[in-house]
Amino acid sequence: MGKIAVVTGGTRGIGAAISKALKAAGYTVAANYAGNDAAAAKFKAETAIPVYKFDVASYDASAAGLARIEQDLGPVDVLVNNAGITRDGVFHRMTPEQWRAVIDTNLNSLFNVTRPVINGMRERGFGRIIVISSINGQKGQMGQTNYSAAKAGDLGFVKALAQESAAKGITVNAIAPGYIATEMVLAVPKEVLDKAIIPYIAVGRLGQPEEIARGVVFLASDDAGFITGSTLTINGGHYLI
């Protein structure tokens, strides 16, 4: 059995591509999901990757879910914090519920999911923690103060935890995708994509989920052992830092 990898939000979109790529690279993968039972069942049937339903916005639910995974598969070696939601709206109209939902799922989840596995990684002297942030956590985005704040917070989490964990053989890195051809992005009206988004991407197209997944596979590998506290920006030249 290969190393054990957990992907949160791992049955749809970028997360599904990550789960499939890690399995293809030889990892034993567990894919978490929150609520779409039909999509999770379809993903499991197509990939034979086991799926685990729990809410990453809850510490207790996450700890229980990860305990089930470790009981079924073994200790977690690679953790991909990918789960995320949007609740867009301009700030002066944003509700507390919109704010809290995004912060809880996109930022607080990093504590909820990582904390239950970090001690095991430290004891074993190995771990790979990869956080999927966003271009909008780097540059901000109108109508997404909640999302941008959470995704920027992800990057601070990565930098701090990387410093704490390096001596224990654990690397902690982020990937900041740009606009990727997922169900969510493709739901944007075509005229908006064609006029307001794609013209600003230097390579002239949306990214593909598999392009993000390849970055995850690299950061999870032994080849990336000297990379920690870093952000791999995969956005086609949309935003350069």
Return the closest-CA partner of residue 81 out of 143, 179, 151, 167: 151
Complete edge-to-edge strand list for the sheet that includes strand 4-7: 51-53, 28-33, 4-7, 78-81, 127-132, 170-177, 231-234
| CA 3 – CA 7 distance, rounded (Å) | 13
Catalytic residue among 33, 147, 200, 239: 147
Q: Please report the pLDDT score of residue 95 as a whole number.
A: 97
Full-model pTM: 0.96
| Residue 104 pLDDT grade (very low, low, confident, very high; cuts 50, 70, 90) | very high
Q: Please report the pLDDT score of residue 1 as a whole number.
A: 55
Task: Note whether 179 and 185 are within 8 A (CB).
Answer: yes
For the residues 46-68, what does the mean pLDDT come to?
98
- 33 labelled catalytic: no
Q: Which value, in Å, is the radius of gyration of the alpha carbons in the chain?
A: 17
Share of the chain above pLDDT 70, in %: 100
Return the closest-CA partner of residue 176 out of 124, 120, 130: 130
| Residue 187 pLDDT grade (very low, low, confident, very high; cuts 50, 70, 90) | confident
